[in-house]
Amino acid sequence: MTTPDAPQSQHAAGGFVGGRQIQALRRIEETVNAASQALPVRLYHPVDDAAPDVVAHFSYAPEGEGWSVFGDVTRGSQGLVISRLEVTPATTSSGVTGGLLRKIPVGEVLAAVRLNAAWEAARREGTRALLGQEPAKGMFGESDEKTPRRGGRAPITSDLLREVATAYLEETAPGAPAGAMKRMAGRFNRPEETLRTWVTRARKDGWLGPSAKGRAGAEPGPRLVLYRVQRQGPGGVAE
């Protein structure tokens, strides 16, 4: 297989593969590897009578333990969260006890869900980049926001977008007061409109996930999830 520093010899179904396509391939590989190291959580499309804000159901049954959990994943103002959790104890146990509840790795389950969302986002991006067509609908939704056109300004770097995404998540966290963009403008010493453009670009480039319509806030995007996993391990993604 040709190495990334010789892209001129790589081809996809649609023809020549350039930098964007190579980046998409790398992101797919990264997300697949990261998701494969997470807990083996299974995901399901919402049932017909699920609550409107439920984007997926999940189940997790650790091998050899006998107990299992099932629940709902909801996209709220802060992104993907576990909104409902059902516990089924082992048939030989004395029921749901405090000890059993302490065994349930809720943070790691949520991390696995987010990593699967990152994998799906990479797959969708790769379909567009490599095949030039719209991908099949996946488990998790996407933002409809478009990146504003930029004039002759200097390129926005990945490091900057990661910092913007991290700041935005902090400023819109639960309990944070209104005026997140104003505070971010102060943090980065730029006009609010510039920060809005950067936040939108961070969503487009995968550092922030989709927003909840009509509300401030977001979830970490696939690139930010992967960055945290690489630095902290899958358990460090959950917040």
Per-residue pLDDT of the chain (239 residues; tens, 9 = 90+): 233 333 333 444 444 456 677 777 777 788 778 778 888 888 888 887 788 888 888 999 998 888 999 999 887 666 788 989 999 988 877 788 888 899 898 888 988 888 888 878 887 777 777 676 676 667 776 543 333 333 334 457 778 888 898 999 888 888 888 888 889 888 888 888 888 888 888 888 888 887 655 556 678 888 888 777 766 544 443 33
Asked if 163 and 184 count as a contact pair (C-beta separation under 8 A), the reply is no
d(CA 205, CA 194): 16
**Which residues face 73 on adjacent strands?**
56, 82
With respect to residue 21, please indicate whether it lies within any of the assigned structural domains: yes
Read off the tokens for 235. Answer: 């358990």
Question: Would you state the pLDDT for residue 47?
Answer: 82
Is 122 a domain residue?
Answer: yes
2 within a domain of the structure (yes/no)? yes
CB 109 within 8 A of CB 82: yes
This prediction has a pTM of 0.51
Amino acid identity of residue 45, one-letter, is H
Residue 3 lies in a domain: yes
Does residue 148 form part of some domain? no
Q: Are 57 and 71 in contact (CB under 8 A)?
A: yes
Q: Which domain holds residue 11?
A: 1-142
Is 177 contained in some domain?
no
What kind and span of H or E run contains 102? helix 98-103
Strand-pairing partners, residue 59, are 42, 70
Whether residue 207 is contained in a domain is answered as: no
Q: From CA 230, how far away is CA 237, in angstroms rounded?
A: 10
Residue 233 confidence (pLDDT): 47
Instruction: For residue 148, give the nearest of 159, 139, 156 by alpha carbon.
Output: 156
Where helices occur in 154-221 by DSSP H, the ranges are: 158-171, 180-188, 192-204
For the stretch 128-153, what's the b/e string if a residue is b when 16 or more beta carbons lie within 10 angstroms of its beta carbon?
ebbeeeeeeebbbeeeeeeeeeeeee
Number of alpha helices (DSSP H) and beta strands (DSSP E) in the chain:
7, 6
| Token representation of residue 186 | 């102060």
User: How many domains in the chain?
Assistant: 1
Residue 177: both structure tokens together: 């007061």
Whether residue 59 lies inside any domain: the answer is yes
The pLDDT assigned to 174 comes to 82
